[in-house]
Amino acid sequence: MLKTFKDFSSLTFDDRFVRSLPADPDTGTQVRLVRNACYSFVRPTPVREPELFAWSSDLASSLGIQPPTTADRSLIAEVFGGHRLMAGMRPYAACYGGHQFGNWAGQLGDGRAITLGELIDPHGSAWEIQLKGAGPTPYSRRGDGRAVLRSSIREFLCSEAMHALGVPTTRALSLVTSRETIARDMFYDGRVAWEPCAIVTRVAPHFIRFGHFEILAARKEPELMRKLADYAIASSHPELDLKDPHVIAQWFHIICERTASMIAHWMRVGFVHGVMNTDNMSVLGLTIDYGPYGWLDIYDPQWTPNTTDAGQRRYRFAQQPSVALWNLECLAHALRSIAPDPELLEAGLDRYREAFQESYSESMAAKLGLKVLAGPQDQQLLQTLEQALCATEMDMTLFYRGLIQVSAEPGPLEAEAELDQIWGAAFYQEQRSEAATAALLGFLCSYRQRLTSDPLTLQERAERMRTANPKYVLRNYLSQLAIDAAHQGDASVCERLLAVMRQPYDEQPEAKDLAVRRPEWARHKAGCSALSCSS
Ligand code: AMP
Ligand code: MG
């Protein structure tokens, strides 16, 4: 189909969500519990002197939006800065609940996100357009409804970086900055600072979370739950028949499969979400709500970037697959009141386990440049790899990228010198222990042996590995560089990162300074290794 690009002012917005589902009759902004409704109408609170700081031209182009002119830019800043609505927009904040760190938290809802409406793209598809940091809503609880610049830059860049990596995610269209400041206690130690706030415009087919259904189950509102499920199904899965008595279970199976695929991707690229509460899980299997997330620098399965979770480490890297299952169990439990056959929901959970194993095994095979991973010997190979990576304290991204080189040369890897030649820049420790070196050489020896029985050609293997092992990931310290520059009003670092992260699998020799291990200065710097939830 031919694409017709429109300028920003002539975009078409719809209000399908609010037309299809019941609203809270109260339209005030006071904090309250909202029953028998999926959302509350609320207008964004204009942010002071909004300015369009960053724009995702890649997403804009897929939505059919023309590159903005100067006039468009100021209109965008007004609309996405909360000053102005366009035809068709009926802004609202959604009501949902959730389990936070394993405990039922009751009603949460969009405390600082406000949906403007759905943008209809040139293919007729609807995209929910949501402002994050647009001011108080009835769900703001004790919060101010705003988001600081640092967390907004992290969400903006990471949404787009994840998309380019092939990881299912919500997207980010713009970042609007402001002269308004808000108080935040970044370290939770009483040192409150005034920080500039910003608004990210997020985009997804919709932002419906597991928690949307959990709150309706907790409130015993099954009719409304069914209505919301029908809306979610009809808008994203037209192939399902709403009249089929098993449609809810069929839909749950899809959610389980998509969640499995998303988590396998996280494990492939070394992403740690940091706050996998059920209110941060999308029923579309999209990565959603970028808060204290991070990327593994040193390969450490026990790592979490979230300081709030430092004790329990519930959301650590290695635990993400089982936490996703736990979250799906919460969703299944909520859906029981509208699904007549609980055993079908149970089967959905089994499908998650299977689908995760399939996706994970496929992505590990791709990372290693093997056609498939099968049998106990390959399991043993994976274990040897895990032990070697843990023992050597190596950079995960650099390790796999270096492995492409190893896979291209037949024969045993003999000397330690070869390790340094390929991975010298990937080790975090100056001195490698003998045991670590032995573990790594041991793995490489089995690996090269294994390659000899694999059917892929050298070229196929290199291509498979290159597209599974990114050269560029949005390491925390890189985002921090963009944040530091943004605080000086400089958008160039953010723009450069956005451009480089668009092609994360390409060599991009001019950007090789962004493909290095976390520098020493960033080891303990705030925002570069660990982050609090303060945002
Ligand atoms: P999060 O941990 O960011 O997913 O947020 C959990 C809940 O707190 C959600 O309901 C958010 O909308 C809400 N929230 C977080 N920060 C703020 C804020 N500054 N103002 C109002 N609500 C907030
Ligand atoms: Mg959230």
Write the secondary structure of 94-107 as one string of H (helix), E (strand) and C (coil).
ECCEEEECCEEEEE
Q: Is the pLDDT of residue 60 over 70?
A: yes
What is the mean pLDDT of the segment spanning 297-324?
A: 96
25 Cβ inside 6 Å of ligand 1: no
User: Both tokens of residue 380?
Assistant: 């043993």
The number of domains in the chain is 4
3 within domain boundaries: no
Q: Encoding tokens for residue 259?
A: 């969640």
Q: Do residues 223 and 267 both lie within one domain? A: yes
At residue 285, the pLDDT reads: 98
- pLDDT for 16 beyond 90: yes
- Taking the CA of 140 as reference, the closest ligand is 1
Tell whether 97 is covered by a domain. yes
The DSSP result for 194-257, as a single string, is EEEEEEEEEEES---BHHHHHHHHHTT-HHHHHHHHHHHHHHH-TTS-TTSTTHHHHHHHHHHH
Is pLDDT above 80 for 415? no
Mark whether 361 and 219 lie in a shared domain. yes
Q: Of 367, 384, 406, which residue constitutes the final position of a domain?
A: 367
Q: What pLDDT sits at residue 528?
A: 87
- Examine residue 392 and state whether it is found in any structural domain, yes or no: yes
Mutation to probe ligand 1, out of 39, 100, 112, 531 (largest number of atoms < 8 A from CB) = 112
Q: Which atom of ligand 1 is nearest to the CA of 109?
A: 10
Q: Is the CB of 274 under 6 A from ligand 1?
A: no
pLDDT of residue 529: 80
Q: What is the mean pLDDT of residues 32-44?
A: 98
Distance CA 170, CA 262 (A): 12
Residue 116 has pLDDT above 70, yes or no: yes
Question: What residues are neighbours of ligand 2 (ion), with CB under 5 Å?
Answer: 280, 289
**Claim to verify: residue 13 and residue 117 sit in the same structural domain:** yes
Check residue 417 and give its pLDDT: 79
For residue 305, name the pLDDT band (cuts at 50, 70, 90).
very high
Q: Is 185 a catalytic residue?
A: no
**Residue 108 CB–ligand 1 contact under 6 Å:** yes
Same-domain pairing of 73 and 171? yes
Catalytic member of 279, 289, 297, 309: 279
Q: Tell me whether residue 67 is in a domain.
A: yes
Torsions phi, psi for 93 (to 5 deg): -115, 135
Residue 501 token pair? 């992260």
Q: Which of 163, 188, 207 is the last residue of a domain?
A: 207
For residues 201 and 220, state if they share a domain. no
Tell whether the model's pLDDT for residue 414 goes beyond 70.
no
The DSSP H or E segment spanning 182 is: strand 171-184
Question: In terms of Cα–Cα distance, which of 301, 306, 293, 455 is closest to 374?
Answer: 455
Q: What letter represents residue 51's amino acid?
A: E
- The kind and range of the H/E element at 316 are none
Range of the domain at 267: 211-367
Confidence category of residue 525, pLDDT binned at 50, 70, 90:
confident
**Residue 385 burial (10 A CB sphere; 0-12, 13-18, 19+):** buried
Q: Is the pLDDT of residue 410 over 70?
A: no
Q: Is the same domain home to 125 and 180? A: yes
Share above pLDDT 70 across residues of the chain, in percent, rounded to a whole number: 99
Same domain (yes/no): 168, 107: yes
For 107-122, what is the mean pLDDT?
97
Question: Same domain, yes or no, for 154 and 297?
Answer: no
CB of 110 closer than 6 angstroms to any ligand 1 atom:
yes
Residue 527 lies in a domain: no
Write the pLDDT tens digit of every residue in 341-397: 999 999 999 999 999 999 999 999 999 999 999 999 999 999 999 999 999 999 999
281 within 8 A of 259, measured Cβ to Cβ: yes
- Nearest Cα residue to atom 17 of ligand 1: 143
Min mean pLDDT across 311-325, 443-457, 504-518 is at: 443-457
Q: Where among 207, 229, 246 does a domain terminate?
A: 207
The predicted pLDDT at position 532 comes to 87
* Block residue for tokens 């996405």: 80
Average pLDDT over the chain, rounded to an integer:
96
pTM comes to 0.97
3-state class (DSSP) for residue 369: coil
Task: Please report which confidence band the pLDDT of residue 413 belongs to, taking 50, 70 and 90 as the band edges.
Answer: low
Quick check: CB of 349 below 6 Å from ligand 1?
Answer: no
Q: Kindly state the tokens that stand for 274.
A: 């940091």
Structure tokens at 203: 């985009």
Residue 188's pLDDT band, with cuts at 50, 70 and 90, is confident
The H or E element that residue 78 is part of is helix 70-80
| Residues 145 and 286 occupy one common structural domain | no
- Look-up of token digits 């993400």: 320
- Does residue 97's CB lie within 6 angstroms of at least one atom of ligand 1? no
- Do 348 and 241 lie in a common domain? yes
| Beta-sheet pairing, 193-204 with 126-132 | antiparallel
The 10s digit of each residue's pLDDT in 140-153 is 999 999 999 999 99
Closest by alpha carbon to 396, among 373, 421, 443, 428?
Answer: 428
* 322 occurs within a structural domain: yes
Whether residue 379 sits in one domain with residue 276: no
Give 83-89's long-range contacts (Cβ < 8 A, gap of 24+): 83/46, 83/47, 83/50, 85/43, 85/116, 86/9, 86/11, 86/13, 86/116, 87/13, 88/12, 88/13, 88/14, 88/15, 88/117, 89/13, 89/15, 89/116, 89/117
Angle, helix 375-392 to helix 434-451, in steps of 10 degrees: 150
* Ramachandran quadrant class, 135 (left: phi over 0; alpha: psi -120 to 50; beta: rest): left
**166 and 67 both lie in a single domain:** yes
Determine what percent of the chain is predicted with pLDDT higher than 90: 91
Of all protein residues, whose CA lies closest to atom 11 belonging to ligand 1? 111
pLDDT band at 429 (very low <50, low <70, confident <90, very high): confident
Whether the predicted pLDDT of 122 surpasses 80? yes
Do the domain assignments include residue 529? no
Q: What is the pLDDT of residue 411?
A: 64
Question: Average pLDDT in the 28-35 region?
Answer: 96
Closest CA to 450 of 356, 512, 380, 500: 380
Q: Has residue 180 been placed in a domain?
A: yes
With tokens 């994840």, the residue in question is: 162
Residues 6+ apart with CB under 8 A from 189: none
